[in-house]
Structure 1
Amino acid sequence: MLSDIQETLLQSLEAFQSTQLVKNKYENILEHLDSGVMLFDSEGVLTFINVQMARLLEVSRKSLTGCTLLQILRHPQLSRFKKKKILRIYRETIFHCKKYHELTDESGRQWLLTVTYGDQMDGDYLFSVKDVSDFKQIEQTAYRNDKLAMLGKISASIAHEIRNPLTAIRGFIQLLRPHLIKLGKDEYARIILMEIDRANDIIYEFLNSSKPSAPQTTVIPVSSLLKEVVLLTESEALMKGCQVLLHDDILPLHISVDVKQIKQVILNMVKNAMDAFDLLTGENGGLIEIRAHRDNKNVHICISDNGKGMDHNTLSHLFDPFFTTKESGTGLGLSVSYRIIKNHKGYIAVNSTVGKGTEFVISLPIVEIV
């Protein structure tokens, strides 16, 4: 009899230990997920929070476990920004039964928060947070490419429809020109023809800018390209009270590019930097720095300024066609630059802080000269 009891107890102990091992295993998995996880019971008490979630909240796990939502909102270590976000999520979850929430943190990174509750959770609420910034960037790039492709098609259609009547008008003016010469009005014909040609040039430039032609590449040293850009912008910088500084400690680096197109891109970014100094005053003025360095595969051309910088919303739309923050801007400059660099198998990165300045980094494949 006693041995039966001992055997039963031993089996129960082994079962408990096995269950505990499984529990510890799954808790260990949850602890080391790259997603943040937290669990509230049916009474609204936080019963579990993993390392990643505590790191996101910037509060120790020990001080949060066992707290109610109200206690968490009153936590002295939790920032005001995060308290507002938690309160908003609570309201949208409870009052609007919303299960998916998109958030942007103080540094501009984007997160997707998922809430799981219902019968399968026995009254508990499970919150999981995942960093989706990279996915959003891919999504924005695809959306931007679609817009650029559509812009190219629309531009080609508009150019065709406008050029046809302009060609007809030009032809009739040339037919009428002998009669205008007899009347002493040859100047009128000359002006009309000149303006028609100017309109054609504008259409061509718009068409070319919205859909850049395939690059005609030449291998050139990066230093000579950047020196030429500085020479072209020095006078305008002087008039605007700013300085363009080229760091001439550039190692011999070579790239295979369409010189005209890449020059257009760099000039556009330097001029944008000049525009960023409109609100700057004082003795220091504006400073635009240009430098280049390399890694194993690419040359990185950096154009930085100490201007007014850009907020997250502006940065997220920066390369969208027709998006501009300037009163007289067309919103095509950076979208065209993006397309040109993409056609060269490169990419553009931007870092900006409001009140501190902006840095554009153009990355292009390096050419090794033997």
Structure 2
Amino acid sequence: MLSEIQETRVGSLQTFQSTQLVKDKYENILEHLDSGIILFNRHGMLTFINVQMARLLGASRSSIMGCSLTQILRQSQLSRFNKRKILRIYKETIFYRKRHHELSDENGRYWLLTVTYGDQMDGDFLLSAKDVSEHKQIEQTAYQNDKLAMLGKISASIAHEIRNPLTAIRGFIQLLRPHLLQLGKDEYTRIILMEIDRANDIICEFLNSSKPSAPQTISVPVIPLLKEVVLLTESEALLKGCQIVLDEGQLSLNILVDVKQIKQVILNLIKNALDAIGDVGHYHVGMIKLEVKEERNNVDIHISDNGKGMDHNTLTRLFDPFFTTKLSGTGLGLSVSYRIIKNHGGTISVDSSVGEGTKFVISLPKAK
């Protein structure tokens, strides 16, 4: 009888230990998932938070464990940015019964937050956060391609219809020019012709942005190519009190590109940098730096400036056709550049903050 009791106790102890091991194992898995997890009980107290969620909140796990939402919001570790996000999620979940939330963190990464509650949770609230930055980037790229395709259709349909009447107007104005010259109104002729040419240039931009010609690639040394572009912009930079610096450390690197198209892209980026520096003020000493780096099978061209920089909203729309922050801009320069680099099998990225300048990185195939 005694031995049976002892066997039962040993069996119970082994079962308990086995259960505890399984529990510890699963808790360890939850704690180190790449998705963030946080659990509140029916009384609103935090009972579990894993490493990723604590990192996302910017708070230590020990300091907020067992706290209510109000106590968490009082934590000095939490940034104002994160406190606002928490309040927004709370309001949308409680008042609007919203279960899925999409948000971005302070580093610009996108997260999908899912809230689970109800009978299956026995009164608890489970929040899980998954990093969907890569999916968001794919989505934005697809959206960008759709817009460029639509732009192509619009450009192709309007270019022919507008160019024909412009050509006729230009011809008749030139016929009338001698008569206007006799009346002392030649300045009017000059202005009309100049504006017609400007309209034609805009149409050309439409066509280029819709379908840039296939690149005729050749192997060229990257530093001499950049030198040529710098020479084209030096006079404008001097007039604006700006200095353009080219780091010539990678003289031996060659890239496989269409020279004319790549010059167009780099020229556009430098002119944008000059405009951004000019917007800061007359007493600001402008600096544009061009640097070349080798990255495996690619060559990266870095173009950075100390201009006014851009906010997050501007960055997300930067390569959209027709989007511009300039009063006289068409909003096509960067969308054209984006398409040209893509056609070369490369990438173009940008990093910027308000008041801290902007850096573009163009990655192009290295010539073998």
TM-score, normalised via structure 1 length: 0.89
Structure 1 counterpart of 2:75:
75
Which shifted more, 37-46 or 57-66?
57-66
Does 2:316 correspond to 1:310? no
Residues 94/301 of structure 1: CA separation in 2 closer, same or farther (3 Å cut): same
The one-letter amino acid of 1:334's match is L
Aligned residue for 1:160, secondary structure, equals helix
**Residue in 2 that maps onto 1:94:** 94
**Residue matched to 2:51:** 51
Two-structure CA RMSD over aligned residues (Å): 2.7
- Matched residue, 1:106: 106
Instruction: Output the CA distance in 1 between the equivalents of 2:230 and 2:200.
Output: 31
Deviates more, 1:330-339 or 1:239-248: 239-248
Specify the code of the residue in structure 1 equivalent to 2:146: D
In 2: Cα distance, 1:301 partner to 1:224 partner: 13
Runs of 4+ in 1 over 4 A off after TM superposition: 163-167, 184-188, 194-202
1:82 corresponds to which letter in structure 2?
N
Structure 1 pair 84/202, CA: closer, same or farther in 2 (3 Å)?
Answer: closer
1:328 maps to 2:323: no
Identity across aligned pairs (percent)? 70
TM-score, scaled relative to structure 2: 0.90
1:291-329 deviation per Cα after TM superposition (whole angstroms, max 9, x unaligned):
111122101111100111111111111101111111111
Task: Sort the Cα spacing of 1:44 and 1:286 in 2 relative to 1 into closer, same or farther, 3 A.
Answer: same
Query: Which residue identity lines up with residue 152 of structure 1 in the other structure?
Result: G
CA contact (8 A) 1:210 1:332 kept: no
Describe the shift of the 1:202–1:125 C-alpha distance in structure 2 as closer, same or farther (beyond 3 A).
closer
Query: Is the partner of 2:95 in helix, strand or coil?
Result: helix
Displacement of 1:166: 5.9
SS in 2 for 1:349: strand
Write out per-residue CA displacement over residues 19-69 of structure 1, whole angstroms, 9 at most, x where no aligned residue: 212111111110110111111111111111111111222222112111111
Aligned to 2:160: 160
- Displacement, 1:226? 0.5
1:206-217 correspondence runs (5 A): 206-217=206-217
| Cα distance per residue 1:263-298 (max 9 Å; x no partner) | 000000000000111233465510001111112210
Alignment match, 2:348: 348
Please identify, of 155-164 and 351-360, the stretch whose mean Cα deviation from structure 2 is larger. Answer: 155-164
Per-residue CA distance 1:209-242 (angstroms, 9 max, x = gap)? 3321111222211111100011000000111111
**Cα–Cα, structure 1 residues 208 and 83, in superposed 2: closer, same or farther, change >3 Å?**
closer
Gapped regions of structure 2 (runs ≥ 5): 183-188
Which deviates further from its counterpart, 250-259 or 310-319?
250-259
Give the unaligned 5+ runs of structure 1: none
2:267 maps to amino acid: L
Task: Find out whether 1:150 has 2:114 as its counterpart.
Answer: no
User: Quick one: distance in 2 between partners of 1:70 and 1:88?
Assistant: 14
Q: What SS does the corresponding residue of 1:66 show, helix, strand or coil? A: coil
Pairwise CA distance, 1:141: 0.9
| Aligned residue pairs, count | 359
* Separation (CA, whole Å) in 2 of partners of 1:339 and 1:292: 21
Does the residue aligned with 1:142 lie in a helix, a strand or coil?
Answer: helix
- Give the distance between the partners of 2:89 and 2:35, measured in 1 at CA: 17
Aligned to 1:359: 359
2:185 is matched with none
* CA drift at 1:5: 2.4
Shift of 1:185: 6.5
Residue identity opposite 1:357 in structure 2 = G
